[in-house]
Amino acid sequence: MVIDELQLAIDEAYQGKDRTGVREVYSAASGHVALPADLLAHLNEVPEGVYTKREMAEAINEVIRGRGEEGTVGLLEIPEQVRPVEETIEAERAVQDETPLEFLNPTPTRPDVNRPDGDA
């Protein structure tokens, strides 16, 4: 399905970036020979600017819906919105209990290898 090819192009445009512009997405998409020109034209309808991956997918989906093509073209997957741990209910409880926020981080912390004593 061509929408999957567009999803790949978007993934490429955002590789290593939190935000990118419409032109960068268009450039990545134009390198995918399986994407027809009319689908690339959808990107021209997205307002210029810098977007997160989620915002870009939502903007492109709006163009698809505006054209009434969601049944034929399909819609992009909207990436899950990641909230910082500080904005969660658990963080609010930790503040009330005076628990350090580090305890809410699901990723174990590792010693800083750049420090000579190995402390984080």
Amino acid type, 86: E
Rounded to an integer, the average pLDDT of 76-104 is: 73
Predicted TM-score of the model (pTM): 0.67
pLDDT of residue 7: 94
Q: Measured at the alpha carbon of residue 86, what is the angle toward residues 84 and 87, in degrees to the nearest 5?
A: 75
Longest Cα separation, the chain: 61
Tens-place pLDDT, residues 1-47: 889 999 999 999 999 999 999 999 999 999 998 899 988 999 999 99
pLDDT of residue 79: 77
pLDDT of residue 30: 93
Decide: 13 and 20 in contact? Cβ < 8 Å: yes
Q: Is the dihedral of CA 52, 54, 55, 60 positive or negative?
A: positive
pLDDT of residue 82: 65
For the purposes of burial, counting CB atoms within 10 Å of the CB of 85, is it exposed (0-12), middle (13-18) or buried (19 or more)? middle
